[in-house]
Structure 1
Amino acid sequence: MKVYKKETIQHINASIEECWAFFSSPKNLQKITPETMGFQITDYDGKSMYAGQIIQYKVSPLAGLKLSWTTEITFVKDKEYFIDEQRFGPYALWHHKHFFEPTENGVKMTDVVHYALPLGFLGRIMNTLVVKNKLNEIFNYRVVKVDEIFNSKK
């Protein structure tokens, strides 16, 4: 199985408390996900993130195809990092680390995703043709939305 890595770094003009309050609330994920993804949380307990939390979604990454996706928040260190992992969904592996580091001017946020696709050779072709580009599109959108939410107000 081929494992791919996607990493993004963004500087946020806000306190660590403001960043953590926003990003540790699953309901805010929809605010930073492109509408074209048809992203919808279908079940979660309404609480801020904690280890063991299960979150269920529907997403439409391609041509209106609706997929179910279940993730678990596996680790949380308050105001430092959290990790979500796919339990059921479109990936053979999805491991997403979110790091938050206070800086002089706000917070450095780093996302590191390790992912793998099912179907062996066909999955590798799909990554090259579609998935890698779709992930780039999603994370580029997030950079813009996070800038709008945090960086344009100061």
Structure 2
Amino acid sequence: MSYHILERTQLLPISLTEAWKFFSAPGNLKHITPAYMGFEVISDSGSETMYPGQIINYYVKPLFGFKMFWMTEITHVKDQEYFIDEQRFGPYQFWHHTHFFREVPGGVEMRDLVHYRLPFGPFGKLAYALFVKKQLQEIFDFRNQVLIERFGKFAEKGEANTLLNKK
């Protein structure tokens, strides 16, 4: 069985509380997603902060402007440490995304760990090679830039934001 892993780490010069407040609010996801994705939250959770068992419904346009339904469930939340969203319906055969948060000197380290698998067997493998891998990297690159613009650039001993990409 073939699956993929995307891992990204970003440092921001904000408090853990501020980072958690921003990222644990489902409505903020649209602000860190490229416009071409047509990301639209369509569910009203009745909560400004995510919680275990919460279902969030979206529309996305990942391919040629084709609108797709995506449903995720927040399966785990440990306040100011991590939360996990898992796809229930959507473009992937499997999607498990863990968001980690850790206070560091001068700010917060945010780490994303995504395990995913595409549907359609060999066609999914081809789609991954042709555009899915690149598109996911672009989405996380966009997010990185938006967060720098919103919260500022982290600098530690002359180093800027750290980005890690692993397959």
CA distance in 2, matches of 1:146, 1:94: 23
**8 A contact 2:107–2:154 mirrored in 1:** no
Task: Pick closer, same or farther for the CA change 1:13–1:46 going to 2, 3 Å.
Answer: farther
TM-score by length of 2: 0.89
Q: Given residue 2 of structure 2, which amino acid in structure 1 is its aligned partner? A: K
CA distance in 2, matches of 1:152, 1:75: 29
**8 A contact 1:13–1:107 mirrored in 2:** yes
1:117 aligns with 2:127: no
Map 1:112-151; keep pairs closer than 5 Å. 112-151=113-152
Match of 1:44 in 2: 44
Q: Please state whether the residue corresponding to 2:45 is helix, strand or coil.
A: coil
What is the alpha-carbon root mean square deviation over aligned residues?
Answer: 1.4
**8 A contact 1:44–1:54 mirrored in 2:** no
Match of 1:24 in 2: 24
Question: How far did residue 13 of structure 1 move?
Answer: 0.4
Match of 1:88 in 2: 89
Map 1:29-108; keep pairs closer than 5 Å. 29-47=29-47, 48-108=49-109
Question: How far did residue 67 of structure 1 move?
Answer: 0.3
Which ranges of structure 2 fall in alignment gaps of 5 or more residues? Answer: 156-167
Q: Please state whether the residue corresponding to 2:19 is helix, strand or coil.
A: helix
Question: How far did residue 46 of structure 1 move?
Answer: 3.6
- The CA deviation string for residues 41-94 of structure 1, in whole angstroms up to 9 with x for no partner, is 011314111000000000001111000000000000000000000000010000
Deviating 4+ runs (over 3 angstroms): none
Matched length: 154
Question: How far did residue 152 of structure 1 move?
Answer: 5.1
